[in-house]
Homo-oligomer: A and B are copies of this chain.
Amino acid sequence: MDKKLTHIDSAGNPRMVDVSEKEVTSRYARASGKVIFPSEIFNDLQQQDFLSKKGSVIQTAVIAGIQAVKKTSDIIPLCHPLKLSKIGIEIEPGNDCLEISCEVKCSERTGVEMEALTGVSAAALTIYDMTKALSHEIVISDIQLEKKTGGKKDYGN
């Protein structure tokens, strides 16, 4: 039952959670997602080492993802502004897709799941932007949390 939504403000007004009484701990989160291409397009991209007319798809997406992680509390209204001690983005070719993984570390009073998910999203959008001249059928999918540690309950592996 502890997963039910409780104590809902009757007016439904947005509220940032008060974390001032929580302890500062080492927090870690990893999220993943993918950008799926039509088969023919993916093969072309792979043969060209994921270089598009606009430059290196993967390097540009990695940087965009890292930068977006730092903007998380600006993009998501109720996120707390945090200091971060590590941001890492990996992008690997999969089955007709590019697979993105983002991990974030900090020493704070709240977790960094949203930071990791935001990094994946921005990297995915950038991959889309670098390749969209090739197809209108590209899809960003399966953005999800893989692991988190340091909060009340760990998750994933």
A interface residues (Cβ-Cβ under 8 A, vs B):
3-9, 11-20, 26, 33, 41, 44-45, 48-49, 51-56, 58-60, 62-64, 66-68, 70-71, 73-91, 105-109, 113-114, 117-118, 121-122, 124-126, 128-130, 132-145, 148, 155-156
Residues of B within 8 A of A140 (CB): 33, 117, 121, 142-144
Residues of B within 8 A of A12 (CB): 49, 51, 55-56, 59
Q: A119 CB to closest chain B CB, in angstroms?
A: 11
A13 to B56, CA, bound (A): 6
Copies in the complex: 6
- Taking a contact as CB atoms closer than 8 A, the residue among B49, B134, B141 that contacts A3 in the complex is B134
**A125 close to B118 (CB less than 8 A):** yes
Residues of B within 8 A of A45 (CB): 5
Q: A67 CB to closest chain B CB, in angstroms?
A: 6
Interface of A is mostly: mixed
- Taking a contact as CB atoms closer than 8 A, the residue among B3, B48, B86 that contacts A16 in the complex is B86
**B13 close to A55 (CB less than 8 A):** yes
Q: Can you spell out 16 A-B residue pairs with CB atoms less than 8 angstroms apart?
A: A3-B133, A4-B44, A4-B134, A5-B44, A5-B45, A5-B52, A9-B51, A14-B56, A60-B77, A64-B75, A76-B125, A85-B109, A121-B122, A136-B145, A140-B143, A140-B144
**A86 close to B19 (CB less than 8 A):** yes
A-B complex: 9 closest residue pairs judged by Cβ atoms: A14-B55, A20-B85, A140-B143, A18-B86, A12-B56, A12-B51, A16-B87, A139-B144, A121-B121
